[in-house]
């Protein structure tokens, strides 16, 4: 949501300096677009199984709940403008169908030279047999420029591991297998 106090103050200053009429309505619209926060939320409504043991795979998102300042295709999110810093929060609904297993999650960024892991973005989760839990990668701060791509990667020690969507009885909404929230700081 736009910071109303700052927006009104900026508009008052802008309009007070407009005695000559040099500032157009388009200038005001452009300023408001610049002040609008950038954010995105993506979800996945299907299950995502570990396909091959100990092999990284990209977490996919099939639903764009909100996109403002980003674009999205499959599991890759692209910044549509330069941003000094963004906060990335990922939540996965993890299911372990048998045995004690390990799931690794991390963020990768491509700034033009290919995807590379983001330092200190990894999370290791050891899951006991036949359990479900929510795993969260929280408050990963990253600088992005226009055209930078990023994605969430996962790797599991067993094909018994998956991110599971859960159908719920009304009035509870369905629970997605994966949620990715991004906001510009």
pLDDT in tens, 47-62: 999 999 999 999 999 9
Based on the domain organization, do 98 and 176 belong to the same domain? yes
Based on the domain organization, do 26 and 63 belong to the same domain? no
- Checking if the pLDDT of 138 tops 80, the result is no
- Checking if the pLDDT of 135 tops 50, the result is yes
Based on the domain organization, do 10 and 71 belong to the same domain? no
Domain count along the chain = 2
Based on the domain organization, do 31 and 119 belong to the same domain? no
- What per-residue string of b and e applies to 8-43 under the rule 16 or more CB within 10 Å gives b? eebeeeeeeeeeeeeeeeeeeeeeeeeeeebbbbbb
Between 6 and 152, the higher pLDDT residue: 152
How much is the average pLDDT of 66-71? 91
Integer Cα distance of 21 and 32 in angstroms: 18
Burial of 75 (0-12, 13-18, 19+ CB in 10 A): buried
Based on the domain organization, do 77 and 146 belong to the same domain? yes
**Of 30-39, 46-55, 95-104, 119-128, minimum mean pLDDT range:** 30-39
- Checking if the pLDDT of 2 tops 50, the result is no
Please list, in sequence order, all residues whose beta carbon lies within 8 angstroms of the beta carbon of residue 95, skipping any fewer than 6 positions away.
Answer: 131, 132, 161, 162, 163, 164
Q: Domain of residue 30: give its range.
A: 1-36
- What is the helix (H) or strand (E) element at residue 29, kind and residue range? helix 25-35
Based on the domain organization, do 86 and 9 belong to the same domain? no
Q: What is the CATH number of the domain that holds 86?
A: 2.60.120.40
* Tokens found for residue 41: 């939320």
Based on the domain organization, do 65 and 20 belong to the same domain? no
Based on the domain organization, do 30 and 57 belong to the same domain? no
């Amino acid at each position: 949501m736009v910071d109303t106090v700052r927006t009104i103050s900026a508009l008052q200053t802008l309009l007070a300096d407009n005695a000559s009429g040099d500032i157009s309505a388009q200038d005001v619209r452009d300023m408001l677009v610049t002040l609008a926060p950038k954010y995105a939320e993506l979800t996945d409504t299907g299950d995502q199984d570990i396909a091959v043991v100990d092999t990284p795979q990209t977490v996919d998102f099939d639903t764009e709940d909100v996109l403002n300042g980003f674009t999205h295709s499959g599991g890759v999110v692209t910044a549509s403008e330069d941003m000094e810093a963004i906060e990335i929060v990922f939540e996965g609904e993890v299911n372990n169908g048998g045995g004690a297993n390990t799931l690794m999650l991390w963020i990768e960024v491509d700034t033009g030279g290919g995807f590379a892991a983001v330092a200190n973005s990894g999370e290791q989760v050891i899951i006991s047999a036949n359990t479900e839990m929510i795993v969260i990668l929280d408050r990963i701060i990253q600088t992005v420029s226009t055209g930078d791509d990023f994605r969430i990667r996962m790797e599991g020690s067993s094909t018994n591991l998956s991110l599971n969507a859960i159908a719920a009885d009304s009035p509870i909404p369905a629970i997605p297998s994966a949620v990715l929230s991004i906001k510009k700081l």
